[in-house]
Amino acid sequence: MTMTPVRPDEQVHEEPEADAGTGAAEGTSVRAPGFRLALLVALVVVLVAGVGSLTYLLSTRAVDAVGIGGDQAQLQGDREAVMAQTEQFVLRFGTYGPDLLDEQGAMPDYRQRVKDVITPKFAVSFDKQAGTAEEIVAKADISRTADVFATGVSSIDSDSATALVAGTFTDAYPKQGQLEPTPFRFEVTLVKVKGSWLVDNFTPVTGAEQ
């Protein structure tokens, strides 16, 4: 076979061998790590932005949910406070006896414990009723006990409420003993004064005797 001589200016250029692991040429493999790094950074930025947006949305909804729940909790708390104060008023108003009389024939402790749960306006009319109760107790030696069976709120807003309460008054005399209980049903109006619910008035609805 005849060999053709190679001229000095005709150099043989060999193609770079492909990488056995990646199938890429050695010339391109040096650029792969930089490309992968840039792609990784871009993905991280997108991921962080997405997490931030999701966190904002969730926190906003959480605040809204707490606001709604807070309103409901406040309303329920007011309803319970109104019912509790209504019950306290009836129990204090309808329970008294000779053991509360002082040397002047008055019942100062009875007056005070009722005034603790009523408005100053209502206290004016209550003082007149308390005077009548003191006179009866002093003359007849009568004792009265109030029992509450049920209370409920018929209407309520931010600073006023109306409640219904049912129960019995039981009177007792030294000679006659205890009489049959007398049922009552009151409609009680309350107002919120400096954050506390106070009884402002009450009206017998049915089956109530003063």
User: What integer best gives the mean pLDDT of the chain?
Assistant: 79
- Residue 73: which pLDDT band, with cuts at 50, 70 and 90? confident
Ordered structural domains, the chain, with CATH: 60-204 (3.10.450.230)
More confident residue, 55 or 197: 197
Q: 109, 103, 118: which is closest to 196 by C-alpha?
A: 118
More confident residue, 206 or 30: 206
Residue range 50-62: mean pLDDT, rounded: 45
**Per-residue pLDDT tens over the stretch 140-191:** 999 999 999 999 999 999 999 999 999 999 999 998 899 999 999 999 999 9
Distance, in Å, from the CA atom of 30 to the CA atom of 119, rounded to the nearest integer, reads 88
pLDDT at 135 over 70: yes
- Which pLDDT score is estimated for 114? 98
- Residue 132: which pLDDT band, with cuts at 50, 70 and 90? very high
- DSSP β-ladder status, 182-193 and 196-204: antiparallel
Q: Which amino acid is at 81?
A: A
- Residue 203: which pLDDT band, with cuts at 50, 70 and 90? very high
Residue range 188-204: mean pLDDT, rounded: 97
Which residue has 């108003």 as its token pair? 93
- Which pLDDT score is estimated for 144? 97
Q: Which two tokens stand for residue 49?
A: 């932005």
Q: For residue 161, what is the enclosing H or E element?
A: strand 160-173
pLDDT at 93 over 50: yes
Distance, in Å, from the CA atom of 195 to the CA atom of 100, rounded to the nearest integer, reads 31
**Per-residue pLDDT tens over the stretch 10-19:** 444 454 444 4
